[in-house]
Structure 1
Amino acid sequence: MGTACAARLADIVDVLLLVDKDDGSAVKTAKSLVGDDRRAKVEPFPLDVTDREGLSCLSSRVSELGTLRAVAHAAGISPTMADWRQVLTVDLVGTALLSEALLPLTTQGTAVVHFASIAPLLDPSGANPAAEAALDDPLGAGFLERIHEAVGSTIEDSGIAYIWAKRGVQRLVQREATRFGRLGGRVCSVSPGIIDTPMGRQEAATRSTNDWLVEQTPLGREGHADEVAAAVAFLLSNEASFVNGIDIPVDGGVIAALRTAVRLGQDRRRDP
Protein backbone atom coordinates (compact mmCIF):
# COMPACT_ATOMS: atom_id res chain seq x y z
CA MET A 1 0.00 0.00 0.00
CA GLY A 2 2.92 2.31 0.68
CA THR A 3 4.27 1.68 -2.80
CA ALA A 4 0.87 2.43 -4.33
CA CYS A 5 0.73 5.68 -2.37
CA ALA A 6 4.22 6.59 -3.58
CA ALA A 7 3.14 6.10 -7.19
CA ARG A 8 0.28 8.55 -6.64
CA LEU A 9 2.46 11.11 -4.88
CA ALA A 10 5.06 11.03 -7.64
CA ASP A 11 2.54 12.88 -9.79
CA ILE A 12 1.60 15.62 -7.32
CA VAL A 13 4.83 16.69 -5.58
CA ASP A 14 8.16 18.05 -6.84
CA VAL A 15 10.40 15.88 -4.64
CA LEU A 16 9.33 12.51 -3.23
CA LEU A 17 11.19 10.97 -0.28
CA LEU A 18 10.65 7.21 -0.09
CA VAL A 19 11.17 6.28 3.55
CA ASP A 20 11.68 2.60 4.31
CA LYS A 21 13.52 0.59 6.93
CA ASP A 22 14.73 -1.65 4.08
CA ASP A 23 17.08 0.51 2.03
CA GLY A 24 17.03 -1.99 -0.84
CA SER A 25 13.25 -1.82 -1.06
CA ALA A 26 13.31 1.98 -1.09
CA VAL A 27 15.91 2.05 -3.85
CA LYS A 28 13.98 -0.48 -5.93
CA THR A 29 10.73 1.47 -5.60
CA ALA A 30 12.51 4.74 -6.39
CA LYS A 31 13.84 3.30 -9.64
CA SER A 32 10.36 2.13 -10.61
CA LEU A 33 8.98 5.65 -10.19
CA VAL A 34 11.53 7.46 -12.35
CA GLY A 35 10.41 8.41 -15.85
CA ASP A 36 9.59 11.22 -18.21
CA ASP A 37 5.91 11.00 -17.25
CA ARG A 38 6.62 11.55 -13.55
CA ARG A 39 6.65 15.00 -12.01
CA ALA A 40 8.68 14.21 -8.91
CA LYS A 41 12.36 13.71 -8.33
CA VAL A 42 12.44 10.53 -6.22
CA GLU A 43 14.93 9.98 -3.41
CA PRO A 44 15.13 6.89 -1.16
CA PHE A 45 15.64 7.52 2.55
CA PRO A 46 16.42 4.54 4.84
CA LEU A 47 14.79 4.97 8.26
CA ASP A 48 13.30 3.02 11.15
CA VAL A 49 10.27 5.07 12.15
CA THR A 50 10.98 4.39 15.84
CA ASP A 51 14.47 5.94 15.59
CA ARG A 52 14.35 9.47 17.04
CA GLU A 53 17.76 10.41 15.64
CA GLY A 54 16.80 9.10 12.23
CA LEU A 55 13.56 11.09 12.30
CA SER A 56 15.58 14.21 13.10
CA CYS A 57 17.70 13.53 10.02
CA LEU A 58 14.54 13.08 7.97
CA SER A 59 13.20 16.40 9.21
CA SER A 60 16.47 18.11 8.28
CA ARG A 61 16.43 16.58 4.82
CA VAL A 62 12.86 17.71 4.19
CA SER A 63 13.82 21.24 5.22
CA GLU A 64 16.74 21.18 2.80
CA LEU A 65 14.50 20.11 -0.08
CA GLY A 66 11.71 22.65 0.38
CA THR A 67 8.24 22.88 1.89
CA LEU A 68 6.49 19.85 3.35
CA ARG A 69 3.47 19.22 1.13
CA ALA A 70 2.15 15.69 1.66
CA VAL A 71 2.90 12.66 3.83
CA ALA A 72 1.50 9.15 3.45
CA HIS A 73 2.59 7.17 6.50
CA ALA A 74 2.03 3.49 5.71
CA ALA A 75 4.83 2.02 7.84
CA GLY A 76 3.59 -0.64 10.24
CA ILE A 77 3.67 -4.29 11.26
CA SER A 78 0.86 -6.81 11.59
CA PRO A 79 0.20 -9.29 14.43
CA THR A 80 2.08 -12.21 12.86
CA MET A 81 5.22 -10.13 12.33
CA ALA A 82 6.20 -9.33 15.92
CA ASP A 83 5.32 -9.55 19.60
CA TRP A 84 2.92 -7.20 21.37
CA ARG A 85 5.60 -4.76 22.44
CA GLN A 86 6.96 -4.35 18.93
CA VAL A 87 3.48 -3.99 17.44
CA LEU A 88 2.63 -1.13 19.81
CA THR A 89 6.05 0.47 19.41
CA VAL A 90 6.11 0.48 15.61
CA ASP A 91 2.43 1.08 14.88
CA LEU A 92 1.62 3.66 17.54
CA VAL A 93 4.79 5.02 19.13
CA GLY A 94 6.42 5.29 15.69
CA THR A 95 3.42 7.20 14.38
CA ALA A 96 3.54 9.60 17.32
CA LEU A 97 7.30 10.11 16.86
CA LEU A 98 6.81 10.88 13.18
CA SER A 99 4.05 13.34 14.02
CA GLU A 100 6.34 15.16 16.44
CA ALA A 101 9.04 15.35 13.77
CA LEU A 102 6.63 16.71 11.16
CA LEU A 103 4.89 19.34 13.27
CA PRO A 104 7.70 21.95 13.04
CA LEU A 105 7.71 21.52 9.25
CA THR A 106 3.98 22.04 8.90
CA THR A 107 2.75 25.08 7.04
CA GLN A 108 -0.27 26.21 5.05
CA GLY A 109 -1.35 23.32 2.81
CA THR A 110 0.61 20.52 4.49
CA ALA A 111 -1.41 17.29 4.62
CA VAL A 112 -0.64 14.04 6.45
CA VAL A 113 -2.39 10.68 6.26
CA HIS A 114 -1.59 7.94 8.76
CA PHE A 115 -2.59 4.31 8.26
CA ALA A 116 -4.89 2.90 10.93
CA SER A 117 -7.10 -0.19 10.51
CA ILE A 118 -10.68 -1.38 10.72
CA ALA A 119 -9.56 -3.69 13.57
CA PRO A 120 -10.54 -1.23 16.37
CA LEU A 121 -13.90 -0.68 14.67
CA LEU A 122 -14.58 -4.42 14.98
CA ASP A 123 -13.65 -4.61 18.66
CA PRO A 124 -16.76 -5.34 20.76
CA SER A 125 -15.14 -4.50 24.11
CA GLY A 126 -16.51 -1.58 26.09
CA ALA A 127 -14.89 1.68 27.03
CA ASN A 128 -11.63 1.54 28.97
CA PRO A 129 -10.74 5.06 30.16
CA ALA A 130 -7.41 3.99 31.66
CA ALA A 131 -6.32 2.34 28.42
CA GLU A 132 -7.44 5.32 26.37
CA ALA A 133 -5.46 7.63 28.65
CA ALA A 134 -2.38 5.50 28.05
CA LEU A 135 -2.99 5.48 24.29
CA ASP A 136 -3.17 9.27 24.31
CA ASP A 137 0.35 9.53 25.77
CA PRO A 138 2.42 7.04 23.73
CA LEU A 139 5.62 9.08 24.06
CA GLY A 140 5.38 9.33 27.84
CA ALA A 141 7.62 7.30 30.14
CA GLY A 142 6.57 3.70 30.68
CA PHE A 143 3.96 3.63 27.93
CA LEU A 144 4.10 -0.15 27.43
CA GLU A 145 3.81 -0.76 31.16
CA ARG A 146 0.89 1.68 31.46
CA ILE A 147 -1.08 0.17 28.59
CA HIS A 148 -0.39 -3.34 29.91
CA GLU A 149 -1.68 -2.40 33.34
CA ALA A 150 -4.80 -0.81 31.87
CA VAL A 151 -5.70 -3.62 29.46
CA GLY A 152 -4.32 -6.60 31.34
CA SER A 153 -2.47 -9.67 30.14
CA THR A 154 -4.69 -10.03 27.06
CA ILE A 155 -2.63 -7.31 25.39
CA GLU A 156 0.27 -9.79 25.25
CA ASP A 157 -1.60 -11.29 22.31
CA SER A 158 -0.12 -9.43 19.34
CA GLY A 159 -3.54 -9.34 17.67
CA ILE A 160 -5.04 -7.54 20.67
CA ALA A 161 -2.02 -5.22 20.79
CA TYR A 162 -2.60 -4.40 17.11
CA ILE A 163 -6.19 -3.36 17.83
CA TRP A 164 -5.06 -1.03 20.62
CA ALA A 165 -2.20 0.37 18.55
CA LYS A 166 -4.45 1.25 15.63
CA ARG A 167 -7.07 2.69 17.98
CA GLY A 168 -4.26 4.87 19.28
CA VAL A 169 -3.49 6.04 15.73
CA GLN A 170 -7.13 7.02 15.18
CA ARG A 171 -7.14 8.95 18.46
CA LEU A 172 -3.81 10.61 17.65
CA VAL A 173 -5.25 11.94 14.38
CA GLN A 174 -8.12 13.56 16.27
CA ARG A 175 -5.71 15.28 18.66
CA GLU A 176 -3.22 16.33 16.02
CA ALA A 177 -5.93 17.90 13.88
CA THR A 178 -5.86 20.85 16.25
CA ARG A 179 -2.09 21.23 16.47
CA PHE A 180 -1.54 20.86 12.74
CA GLY A 181 -4.65 22.86 11.89
CA ARG A 182 -3.42 25.91 13.76
CA LEU A 183 -0.41 25.90 11.43
CA GLY A 184 -2.52 25.52 8.30
CA GLY A 185 -1.99 21.77 7.99
CA ARG A 186 -4.31 18.77 8.07
CA VAL A 187 -4.06 15.26 9.53
CA CYS A 188 -6.33 12.31 8.72
CA SER A 189 -6.14 8.54 8.72
CA VAL A 190 -7.39 5.69 6.58
CA SER A 191 -8.48 2.32 7.95
CA PRO A 192 -8.08 -0.38 5.31
CA GLY A 193 -10.26 -3.46 5.41
CA ILE A 194 -9.04 -6.78 4.00
CA ILE A 195 -6.62 -5.72 1.26
CA ASP A 196 -4.82 -8.08 -1.12
CA THR A 197 -1.20 -7.42 -0.12
CA PRO A 198 1.68 -9.70 0.96
CA MET A 199 1.10 -8.67 4.58
CA GLY A 200 -2.62 -9.34 4.22
CA ARG A 201 -1.98 -12.78 2.76
CA GLN A 202 0.40 -13.57 5.62
CA GLU A 203 -2.29 -12.70 8.14
CA ALA A 204 -4.96 -14.64 6.22
CA ALA A 205 -2.79 -17.76 6.34
CA THR A 206 -3.01 -17.82 10.14
CA ARG A 207 -6.38 -16.16 10.85
CA SER A 208 -9.73 -17.45 9.59
CA THR A 209 -11.21 -14.06 10.51
CA ASN A 210 -9.86 -12.59 7.27
CA ASP A 211 -11.83 -14.99 5.08
CA TRP A 212 -14.96 -14.36 7.15
CA LEU A 213 -14.58 -10.59 6.77
CA VAL A 214 -14.29 -10.94 2.99
CA GLU A 215 -17.51 -12.98 3.02
CA GLN A 216 -19.23 -10.20 5.00
CA THR A 217 -17.98 -7.43 2.72
CA PRO A 218 -20.89 -6.10 0.63
CA LEU A 219 -18.66 -5.74 -2.44
CA GLY A 220 -17.85 -9.43 -2.11
CA ARG A 221 -14.08 -9.24 -2.47
CA GLU A 222 -10.81 -8.04 -1.01
CA GLY A 223 -9.65 -4.53 -1.70
CA HIS A 224 -6.59 -3.60 -3.73
CA ALA A 225 -3.64 -1.43 -2.73
CA ASP A 226 -4.44 1.09 -5.47
CA GLU A 227 -7.93 1.58 -4.03
CA VAL A 228 -6.49 2.52 -0.65
CA ALA A 229 -3.91 4.76 -2.33
CA ALA A 230 -6.70 6.56 -4.20
CA ALA A 231 -8.38 7.46 -0.89
CA VAL A 232 -5.04 8.61 0.51
CA ALA A 233 -4.37 10.71 -2.60
CA PHE A 234 -7.73 12.43 -2.21
CA LEU A 235 -7.07 13.26 1.46
CA LEU A 236 -3.67 14.68 0.51
CA SER A 237 -5.05 16.72 -2.38
CA ASN A 238 -6.33 20.27 -2.40
CA GLU A 239 -9.78 18.80 -3.09
CA ALA A 240 -9.81 17.75 0.58
CA SER A 241 -8.65 21.13 1.88
CA PHE A 242 -11.38 21.26 4.57
CA VAL A 243 -11.11 17.62 5.65
CA ASN A 244 -9.21 17.30 8.92
CA GLY A 245 -9.06 15.00 11.94
CA ILE A 246 -11.12 12.12 10.57
CA ASP A 247 -10.62 8.44 9.83
CA ILE A 248 -11.93 6.97 6.58
CA PRO A 249 -12.54 3.20 6.42
CA VAL A 250 -11.58 1.80 3.01
CA ASP A 251 -13.23 -1.54 3.56
CA GLY A 252 -15.80 -2.27 0.87
CA GLY A 253 -18.57 -1.55 3.36
CA VAL A 254 -17.84 -4.38 5.81
CA ILE A 255 -18.04 -2.20 8.92
CA ALA A 256 -21.38 -0.78 7.78
CA ALA A 257 -22.68 -4.28 7.04
CA LEU A 258 -21.65 -5.70 10.39
CA ARG A 259 -23.04 -2.76 12.35
CA THR A 260 -26.32 -3.00 10.44
CA ALA A 261 -26.52 -6.72 11.21
CA VAL A 262 -25.99 -6.01 14.91
CA ARG A 263 -28.72 -3.35 14.94
CA LEU A 264 -31.16 -5.64 13.13
CA GLY A 265 -30.44 -8.40 15.62
CA GLN A 266 -31.06 -6.03 18.51
CA ASP A 267 -34.32 -4.83 16.94
CA ARG A 268 -35.55 -8.39 16.48
CA ARG A 269 -34.86 -9.20 20.13
CA ARG A 270 -36.90 -6.16 21.16
CA ASP A 271 -39.94 -7.10 19.03
CA PRO A 272 -42.88 -8.23 21.20
Structure 2
Amino acid sequence: MTTVGIVTGAGRGMGLACARRIAGRVDTLLLVDRDEVSAAEAAAELADAGAEPFVLDVTDPGGLARLAERTARAGTLRAVVHAAGISPTMADWRRIFAVDLVATAMLAETLRPLATTGTAMVCFASMAPVLARVDPDPAVAEVLDEPLDERFLDRVREALGPAVEDPGAAYAWAKHGVQRFVRREATRLGPLGARVCSVSPGIIDTPQGRQEAEHHPSMAALVERTPLARRGRPEDVAAVVAFLVSDDAAFVTGTDVLVDGGVCAAVNTG
Protein backbone atom coordinates (compact mmCIF):
# COMPACT_ATOMS: atom_id res chain seq x y z
CA MET A 1 0.00 0.00 0.00
CA THR A 2 1.38 3.39 -1.02
CA THR A 3 0.68 5.96 1.68
CA VAL A 4 0.27 9.72 1.35
CA GLY A 5 0.73 12.55 3.81
CA ILE A 6 -0.30 16.20 3.51
CA VAL A 7 1.10 19.16 5.41
CA THR A 8 -0.38 22.61 4.79
CA GLY A 9 1.56 25.73 5.60
CA ALA A 10 4.61 23.54 5.04
CA GLY A 11 6.91 26.26 3.74
CA ARG A 12 7.93 27.68 7.10
CA GLY A 13 7.52 27.68 10.86
CA MET A 14 5.50 24.99 12.54
CA GLY A 15 4.28 23.54 9.24
CA LEU A 16 7.83 22.93 8.05
CA ALA A 17 8.79 21.45 11.43
CA CYS A 18 5.82 19.06 11.16
CA ALA A 19 6.82 18.08 7.62
CA ARG A 20 10.31 17.24 8.83
CA ARG A 21 8.91 15.05 11.61
CA ILE A 22 6.58 12.98 9.46
CA ALA A 23 8.86 12.76 6.42
CA GLY A 24 9.69 9.12 5.87
CA ARG A 25 6.54 7.88 7.58
CA VAL A 26 4.62 8.04 4.29
CA ASP A 27 5.64 7.23 0.73
CA THR A 28 4.51 10.54 -0.74
CA LEU A 29 4.44 13.78 1.24
CA LEU A 30 2.56 16.71 -0.30
CA LEU A 31 3.89 20.01 1.02
CA VAL A 32 1.14 22.58 0.60
CA ASP A 33 1.86 26.31 0.72
CA ARG A 34 0.57 29.36 -1.12
CA ASP A 35 4.17 30.56 -1.54
CA GLU A 36 5.64 28.65 -4.47
CA VAL A 37 9.24 29.37 -3.49
CA SER A 38 8.81 28.20 0.11
CA ALA A 39 7.00 25.05 -0.97
CA ALA A 40 9.72 24.23 -3.48
CA GLU A 41 12.51 24.80 -0.95
CA ALA A 42 10.81 22.57 1.63
CA ALA A 43 10.26 19.84 -0.94
CA ALA A 44 13.89 20.03 -2.05
CA GLU A 45 15.05 19.59 1.55
CA LEU A 46 12.82 16.53 2.01
CA ALA A 47 13.07 15.11 -1.51
CA ASP A 48 14.66 11.87 -0.30
CA ALA A 49 11.53 11.28 1.79
CA GLY A 50 9.20 11.49 -1.19
CA ALA A 51 8.19 15.12 -0.67
CA GLU A 52 6.78 17.24 -3.45
CA PRO A 53 5.50 20.84 -3.46
CA PHE A 54 1.84 21.68 -3.97
CA VAL A 55 1.06 25.37 -4.40
CA LEU A 56 -2.36 26.16 -2.97
CA ASP A 57 -4.37 28.82 -1.18
CA VAL A 58 -6.39 26.75 1.28
CA THR A 59 -9.43 28.98 0.79
CA ASP A 60 -9.63 28.02 -2.91
CA PRO A 61 -12.20 25.23 -3.50
CA GLY A 62 -10.75 24.41 -6.91
CA GLY A 63 -7.28 24.10 -5.47
CA LEU A 64 -8.52 21.84 -2.70
CA ALA A 65 -10.19 19.62 -5.29
CA ARG A 66 -6.86 19.36 -7.14
CA LEU A 67 -5.18 18.39 -3.87
CA ALA A 68 -7.70 15.61 -3.31
CA GLU A 69 -7.24 14.36 -6.86
CA ARG A 70 -3.46 14.32 -6.51
CA THR A 71 -3.76 12.47 -3.20
CA ALA A 72 -6.07 9.83 -4.64
CA ARG A 73 -3.72 9.23 -7.56
CA ALA A 74 -0.72 8.87 -5.23
CA GLY A 75 -2.19 6.28 -2.87
CA THR A 76 -3.95 5.92 0.48
CA LEU A 77 -4.34 8.99 2.67
CA ARG A 78 -2.48 8.34 5.91
CA ALA A 79 -1.78 11.70 7.59
CA VAL A 80 -3.00 15.30 7.27
CA VAL A 81 -1.41 18.15 9.20
CA HIS A 82 -3.29 21.39 8.64
CA ALA A 83 -0.91 24.05 9.91
CA ALA A 84 -1.79 26.81 7.41
CA GLY A 85 -3.31 29.86 9.06
CA ILE A 86 -2.99 33.55 9.77
CA SER A 87 -2.72 35.59 12.95
CA PRO A 88 -4.27 38.90 14.06
CA THR A 89 -1.68 41.24 12.53
CA MET A 90 -1.98 39.64 9.10
CA ALA A 91 -5.56 40.41 8.03
CA ASP A 92 -8.96 41.77 8.94
CA TRP A 93 -11.55 39.79 10.86
CA ARG A 94 -13.29 38.34 7.80
CA ARG A 95 -10.09 37.00 6.31
CA ILE A 96 -9.05 35.53 9.66
CA PHE A 97 -12.29 33.56 9.91
CA ALA A 98 -12.06 32.53 6.25
CA VAL A 99 -8.51 31.17 6.51
CA ASP A 100 -8.44 29.81 10.04
CA LEU A 101 -11.89 28.27 10.37
CA VAL A 102 -13.77 28.11 7.08
CA ALA A 103 -10.77 26.73 5.18
CA THR A 104 -10.26 24.10 7.88
CA ALA A 105 -13.80 22.85 7.29
CA MET A 106 -13.34 23.04 3.52
CA LEU A 107 -10.17 20.96 3.64
CA ALA A 108 -11.74 18.36 5.90
CA GLU A 109 -14.83 18.09 3.72
CA THR A 110 -12.73 17.74 0.56
CA LEU A 111 -10.49 15.04 1.99
CA ARG A 112 -13.16 13.13 3.94
CA PRO A 113 -14.02 10.81 0.99
CA LEU A 114 -10.38 9.67 1.04
CA ALA A 115 -10.35 8.86 4.76
CA THR A 116 -10.01 5.21 5.69
CA THR A 117 -8.82 3.02 8.52
CA GLY A 118 -5.63 4.56 9.89
CA THR A 119 -6.10 8.04 8.44
CA ALA A 120 -5.27 10.75 10.99
CA MET A 121 -5.71 14.51 10.74
CA VAL A 122 -4.41 17.26 13.01
CA CYS A 123 -5.75 20.83 12.72
CA PHE A 124 -4.03 23.83 14.24
CA ALA A 125 -6.02 25.86 16.75
CA SER A 126 -4.47 28.16 19.38
CA MET A 127 -4.23 28.90 23.09
CA ALA A 128 -6.01 32.21 22.35
CA PRO A 129 -9.53 30.91 23.15
CA VAL A 130 -8.26 29.48 26.43
CA LEU A 131 -6.65 32.73 27.53
CA ALA A 132 -9.71 34.70 26.39
CA ARG A 133 -11.96 32.20 28.19
CA VAL A 134 -14.21 31.97 25.15
CA ASP A 135 -17.51 30.43 26.17
CA PRO A 136 -20.22 30.94 23.54
CA ASP A 137 -23.89 30.91 24.34
CA PRO A 138 -25.97 28.34 22.40
CA ALA A 139 -26.91 30.80 19.63
CA VAL A 140 -23.27 31.71 18.95
CA ALA A 141 -22.19 28.07 19.17
CA GLU A 142 -24.78 27.14 16.56
CA VAL A 143 -23.30 29.68 14.15
CA LEU A 144 -19.70 28.60 14.80
CA ASP A 145 -20.65 24.99 14.12
CA GLU A 146 -21.72 25.80 10.55
CA PRO A 147 -18.57 27.31 8.96
CA LEU A 148 -19.58 26.17 5.48
CA ASP A 149 -22.85 28.09 5.54
CA GLU A 150 -22.93 30.59 2.66
CA ARG A 151 -23.80 33.38 5.12
CA PHE A 152 -21.34 32.26 7.76
CA LEU A 153 -19.36 35.50 8.08
CA ASP A 154 -22.49 37.63 8.19
CA ARG A 155 -24.03 35.32 10.77
CA VAL A 156 -20.88 35.53 12.90
CA ARG A 157 -21.07 39.33 12.82
CA GLU A 158 -24.75 39.24 13.75
CA ALA A 159 -24.17 36.78 16.59
CA LEU A 160 -21.07 38.37 18.14
CA GLY A 161 -21.64 42.02 17.32
CA PRO A 162 -19.08 44.69 16.38
CA ALA A 163 -16.52 43.43 18.91
CA VAL A 164 -15.68 40.55 16.58
CA GLU A 165 -14.26 43.00 14.05
CA ASP A 166 -11.20 43.32 16.27
CA PRO A 167 -8.64 40.93 14.67
CA GLY A 168 -7.55 39.59 18.05
CA ALA A 169 -11.11 38.75 19.02
CA ALA A 170 -11.80 37.25 15.60
CA TYR A 171 -8.70 35.06 15.92
CA ALA A 172 -9.77 33.71 19.31
CA TRP A 173 -13.27 32.94 18.08
CA ALA A 174 -12.04 31.37 14.84
CA LYS A 175 -9.61 29.10 16.67
CA HIS A 176 -12.33 28.17 19.15
CA GLY A 177 -14.36 27.24 16.09
CA VAL A 178 -11.54 24.93 14.98
CA GLN A 179 -11.58 23.18 18.35
CA ARG A 180 -15.34 22.73 18.08
CA PHE A 181 -15.07 21.55 14.47
CA VAL A 182 -12.60 18.83 15.41
CA ARG A 183 -14.98 17.40 17.99
CA ARG A 184 -17.77 17.20 15.43
CA GLU A 185 -15.53 15.90 12.67
CA ALA A 186 -14.37 13.06 14.92
CA THR A 187 -17.91 11.68 14.92
CA ARG A 188 -17.95 11.71 11.14
CA LEU A 189 -14.55 10.07 10.71
CA GLY A 190 -14.86 7.48 13.46
CA PRO A 191 -17.07 5.06 11.51
CA LEU A 192 -14.44 5.15 8.73
CA GLY A 193 -11.70 4.14 11.14
CA ALA A 194 -10.13 7.60 10.87
CA ARG A 195 -9.23 10.17 13.53
CA VAL A 196 -8.91 13.93 13.93
CA CYS A 197 -7.49 16.11 16.71
CA SER A 198 -6.35 19.69 17.12
CA VAL A 199 -3.30 21.24 18.71
CA SER A 200 -3.30 24.66 20.37
CA PRO A 201 0.19 26.17 20.37
CA GLY A 202 1.19 28.84 22.82
CA ILE A 203 3.86 31.45 22.10
CA ILE A 204 6.10 29.75 19.57
CA ASP A 205 9.32 31.20 18.18
CA THR A 206 8.45 31.45 14.47
CA PRO A 207 8.55 34.38 12.04
CA GLN A 208 4.78 34.73 12.41
CA GLY A 209 5.04 34.55 16.19
CA ARG A 210 7.74 37.20 16.26
CA GLN A 211 5.60 39.47 14.09
CA GLU A 212 2.77 39.19 16.60
CA ALA A 213 5.16 39.91 19.47
CA GLU A 214 6.35 43.10 17.78
CA HIS A 215 2.78 44.40 17.63
CA HIS A 216 1.75 43.12 21.05
CA PRO A 217 4.41 43.86 23.71
CA SER A 218 2.18 42.19 26.31
CA MET A 219 3.25 38.84 24.91
CA ALA A 220 6.59 39.28 26.67
CA ALA A 221 4.76 39.17 29.99
CA LEU A 222 3.15 35.88 28.98
CA VAL A 223 6.56 34.41 28.29
CA GLU A 224 7.67 35.53 31.74
CA ARG A 225 4.64 33.81 33.28
CA THR A 226 5.21 30.57 31.35
CA PRO A 227 6.13 27.87 33.90
CA LEU A 228 8.76 26.42 31.55
CA ALA A 229 10.25 29.92 31.29
CA ARG A 230 10.73 30.12 27.53
CA ARG A 231 9.03 30.45 24.18
CA GLY A 232 8.11 27.24 22.46
CA ARG A 233 10.03 25.93 19.49
CA PRO A 234 8.35 24.74 16.29
CA GLU A 235 9.83 21.33 17.06
CA ASP A 236 7.93 21.23 20.37
CA VAL A 237 4.64 21.42 18.52
CA ALA A 238 5.78 19.12 15.71
CA ALA A 239 6.62 16.39 18.22
CA VAL A 240 3.06 16.42 19.54
CA VAL A 241 1.62 16.45 16.03
CA ALA A 242 3.85 13.52 15.03
CA PHE A 243 2.47 11.52 17.96
CA LEU A 244 -1.14 12.38 17.12
CA VAL A 245 -0.85 11.14 13.53
CA SER A 246 1.02 8.01 14.58
CA ASP A 247 -0.41 4.60 15.43
CA ASP A 248 0.62 5.24 19.03
CA ALA A 249 -2.35 7.63 19.22
CA ALA A 250 -4.79 5.14 17.70
CA PHE A 251 -7.39 5.76 20.43
CA VAL A 252 -7.05 9.55 20.51
CA THR A 253 -9.59 11.56 18.53
CA GLY A 254 -11.94 14.51 18.88
CA THR A 255 -9.77 16.36 21.37
CA ASP A 256 -7.48 19.38 21.58
CA VAL A 257 -3.93 19.28 22.92
CA LEU A 258 -2.58 22.48 24.46
CA VAL A 259 1.14 22.98 23.73
CA ASP A 260 1.89 26.18 25.61
CA GLY A 261 4.56 25.50 28.22
CA GLY A 262 1.90 25.83 30.91
CA VAL A 263 1.13 29.53 30.44
CA CYS A 264 -2.64 29.02 30.26
CA ALA A 265 -2.53 27.10 33.53
CA ALA A 266 -0.51 29.92 35.12
CA VAL A 267 -2.80 32.69 33.88
CA ASN A 268 -6.10 30.97 34.58
CA THR A 269 -5.10 29.94 38.09
CA GLY A 270 -3.87 33.42 38.95
- TM-score interval, normalised by the smaller of the two chains: over 0.9
Q: CA deviation at 1:12?
A: 0.9
Q: Which amino acid aligns with 1:71?
A: V
Q: For the residues of structure 1 that align with 2:136 and 2:146, how far apart are their CA atoms?
A: 17
In structure 2, the partner of 1:180 is 189
Q: CA deviation at 1:32?
A: 1.1
Query: How many residues are treated as equivalent by the alignment?
Result: 257
Q: Does 1:19 align with 2:28?
A: no
In structure 1, the partner of 2:46 is 33
Map 1:230-245 onto structure 2 (within 5 A).
230-245=239-254
Match of 1:69, SS? strand
Map 1:193-232 onto structure 2 (within 5 A).
193-232=202-241
Q: For the residues of structure 1 that align with 2:65 and 2:240, how far apart are their CA atoms?
A: 29
Q: For the residues of structure 2 that align with 1:142 and 1:125, how far apart are their CA atoms?
A: 22
In structure 1, the partner of 2:67 is 58
Q: For the residues of structure 2 that align with 1:11 and 1:214, how far apart are their CA atoms?
A: 34
Q: For the residues of structure 2 that align with 1:202 and 1:113, how far apart are their CA atoms?
A: 24
Q: Which amino acid aligns with 1:23?
A: E
Q: Does 1:257 align with 2:270?
A: no
Stretches of 4+ moved more than 6 A in 1? none
Percent identity for Structure 1 against Structure 2? 60
Aligned CA distance change for structure 1 residues 52 and 220 (closer, same or farther; 3 Å): same
Aligned CA distance change for structure 1 residues 5 and 125 (closer, same or farther; 3 Å): closer
Q: CA deviation at 1:9?
A: 1.3
Q: TM-score normalized by structure 2?
A: 0.93
Q: For the residues of structure 2 that align with 1:187 and 1:83, how far apart are their CA atoms?
A: 28
Q: Which amino acid aligns with 1:5?
A: C
Q: CA deviation at 1:209?
A: 2.8
Match of 2:141, SS? helix
Higher Cα Rg, which structure: 1
Q: For the residues of structure 2 that align with 1:56 and 1:154, how far apart are their CA atoms?
A: 35
In structure 2, the partner of 1:44 is 53
Q: Does 1:132 align with 2:141?
A: yes
**CA contact under 8 A between 2:134 and 2:173: conserved in structure 1?**
no
Aligned CA distance change for structure 1 residues 19 and 204 (closer, same or farther; 3 Å): same
Q: CA deviation at 1:34?
A: 2.5
Q: For the residues of structure 2 that align with 1:86 and 1:7, how far apart are their CA atoms?
A: 29
Q: Which amino acid aligns with 1:234?
A: F
Q: For the residues of structure 2 that align with 1:186 and 1:125, how far apart are their CA atoms?
A: 25
Map 1:43-192 onto structure 2 (within 5 A).
43-124=52-133, 126-192=135-201
Structure 1 vs Structure 2 CA RMSD: 1.0
Question: Which runs of 5 or more residues in structure 1 are unaligned?
Answer: 262-272
Aligned CA distance change for structure 1 residues 192 and 56 (closer, same or farther; 3 Å): same
Q: TM-score normalized by structure 1?
A: 0.93
**CA contact under 8 A between 2:24 and 2:50: conserved in structure 1?**
no
Aligned CA distance change for structure 1 residues 196 and 233 (closer, same or farther; 3 Å): same
Q: CA deviation at 1:126?
A: 4.6
Q: For the residues of structure 1 that align with 2:260 and 2:232, how far apart are their CA atoms?
A: 7
Aligned CA distance change for structure 1 residues 67 and 120 (closer, same or farther; 3 Å): same
Match of 1:194, SS? coil
Q: CA deviation at 1:125?
A: 5.2
Q: CA deviation at 1:124?
A: 3.5
In structure 1, the partner of 2:9 is none
